[in-house]
Amino acid sequence: MSWLPPDEDDDALDAWDDSAYRARPNPKANRPRTKRRPEHADAAIGRVITVDRGRYGVLVDEDGDHEREITCTRARELRKAAIVTGDEVDVVGDTSGDEGTLARIVRIRPRRTLLRRSADDTDAVERVVVANAEQLLIVVAAANPEPRARLVDRYLVAAYDAGIRPMLVVTKTDLADPAPFLANFDGLDLPVFTSAKGEAPIAELVEVLRDRGTVAVGHSGVGKSTLVNELVPGAGRATGVVNAVTGRGRHTSSSTVSLRLPDGGWIIDTPGVRSFGLGHVDPDNVIRGFSDLAEVAEECPRGCTHLADAPDCALDDAVEDGRLTPERVDSMRRLLGTLRPGVSRAE
Ligand SMILES: Nc1nc2c(ncn2[C@@H]2O[C@H](COP(=O)(O)OP(=O)(O)OP(=O)(O)O)[C@@H](O)[C@H]2O)c(=O)[nH]1
Ligand SMILES: [Zn+2]
């Protein structure tokens, strides 16, 4: 994991690091660093709930008598390891959380799941989005902005790759009938919720979100923050106005934040993105995100690429006999085409 968020300026962080003085020539300071460093056995455990330019908001003693949010910096020994919202971390130093105090994250605990994306499909460098989430709430609008099945396909691939259970919410059903769009996902074991202005399915969502960590993703302007604000009264997630011409939202929520649900569990709101690169995903794993196709592909010859030019690909037979729609197969093939270098795309 070599990715460092672009807003994390290493030099600025060093100013807070107690080992920064090592940069000055000082013969007496030449002892190995490890000897000077305590093992941090007394470290407190916390959950990262906000990340903002090298500062981490960490909740310690969660659900305990002394639960508090403290502000942390990162220890130099973590080097460039990305610390993301949802990470469980060990913190040392002043963990009182008092005004003006700054503790230090010294370790990232093993992650149970990891949602990742890449800048684009040809870029194998992954960007860690969120750690330890159990569910992915994919939010799309029935209109304004127009829903894109391919973006949802991408989220699904990322979810399976991360070991996270996906769910779909279609908002703005007061503006358009979501049925034609939803037909794309008929063959999937994908829980679907619909939401209209003033009629969000809050009670249903509260049930599926309860006591779990859920990360909400979606294109800018789909109404994700509106939904999060209803789920977490007082969350104050900024909501924006969608440009009537472009259908795009202004970038209103710009950071990834964990919010505690009143009935238990966490919802992690992420900034709206237009694309979700999968350059880090092994092409062989892509089909797992298309579970309706994966089932059929079991009948494929060994080593089948499932691409349009693959001989005897079972996906073609399934389209012919109506078990699969051409759109579904095409959607996966396009995605595979962008991930497999050198393979021509049927665009
Ligand atoms: N008609 C209609 N409008 C909605 C609905 N949900 C949200 N909106 C509007 O859509 C616009 C965008 O909503 P936001 O909640 O800011 O969208 P977002 O997905 O959080 O956008 P970013 O913060 O840019 O990521 C706002 O003007 C909302 O009032 C809905 O169900 N129906
Ligand atoms: Zn095949």
Between helix 224-231 and helix 202-209 the angle, nearest 10°, is 80
239 lines ligand 1 (CB under 6 A): yes
Find the mean pLDDT for residues 1-13. Answer: 38
Find the mean pLDDT for residues 130-140. Answer: 97
Q: Which residues contact 318 (CB under 8 A, 6 or more apart)?
A: 296, 324, 329
Evaluate if residue 255 carries a pLDDT over 60. Answer: yes
- The complex's ipTM works out to 0.96
Residue 317 has what pLDDT? Answer: 96
Q: What is the pLDDT of residues 292-310, one digit of tens each?
A: 999 999 999 999 999 999 9
The alpha carbon of 264 and the centre of ligand 1 are apart by a number of angstroms equal to 25
241 lines ligand 1 (CB under 6 A): yes
Evaluate if residue 332 carries a pLDDT over 70. Answer: yes
Closest residue (by CA) to atom 6 of ligand 1? Answer: 223
Q: Averaging pLDDT over each range in 36-40, 286-290, 315-319, 341-345, which range is the top one?
A: 315-319
222 lines ligand 1 (CB under 6 A): yes
199 lines ligand 1 (CB under 6 A): no
**Which of 24-28, 201-205, 278-282 has the least mean pLDDT?**
24-28
Residue 187 has what pLDDT? Answer: 84
What's the pLDDT band for 27 if we cut at 50, 70, 90?
low
Cα 40 to Cα 169: distance, rounded to the nearest angstrom: 43
Task: Detail the DSSP E strand segments found in the chain.
Answer: 44-52, 55-60, 68-74, 88-93, 103-108, 114-118, 126-131, 135-141, 165-171, 192-194, 213-218, 257-260, 266-269
SS (H, E, C) 263-331: CCCEEEECCCCCCCECCCCCHHHHHHHCHHHHHHHCCCCCCCCCCCCCCCCHHHHHHHCCCCCHHHHHH
Model's pTM, two decimal places? 0.81
DSSP class of residue 149?
H
Dmax over Cα atoms in the chain, in whole Å? 78
Find the mean pLDDT for residues 225-247. Answer: 71
Residue 118 has what pLDDT? Answer: 86
What's the pLDDT band for 37 if we cut at 50, 70, 90?
low
Annotated binding site: 171-174, 218-226, 300, 304, 306, 313
Find the mean pLDDT for residues 176-198. Answer: 94
Closest residue (by CA) to atom 14 of ligand 1? Answer: 223
Cα 148 to Cα 276: distance, rounded to the nearest angstrom: 12
195 lines ligand 1 (CB under 6 A): yes
> What domains lie within the chain, and their CATH numbers?
10-108 (2.40.50.140), 133-269 (3.40.50.300), 284-339 (1.10.40.50)
Q: What is the pLDDT of residues 140-175, one digit of tens each?
A: 999 999 999 999 999 999 999 899 999 999 999 999
Inter-residue contact 115 to 163 (CB < 8 Å): no
Q: Please provide the average confidence, as pLDDT, over all residues in the chain.
A: 83
Inter-residue contact 100 to 88 (CB < 8 Å): no
Q: Which atom of ligand 1 is nearest to the CA of 218?
A: 19
Structure tokens at 312: 């005897």
Q: Which atom of ligand 1 is nearest to the CA of 241?
A: 27
Cα 2 to Cα 5: distance, rounded to the nearest angstrom: 10
Proximal ligand: closest to the CA of 217:
1
Q: What is the pLDDT of residues 84-122, one digit of tens each?
A: 999 999 999 999 999 999 999 999 999 999 999 888 888
Residue 239 has what pLDDT? Answer: 62
Residue 243 has what pLDDT? Answer: 46
Report CA dihedral (62, 68, 72, 74) to the nearest 10 degrees: -20
Annotated binding site for Zn(2+): 300, 304, 306, 313
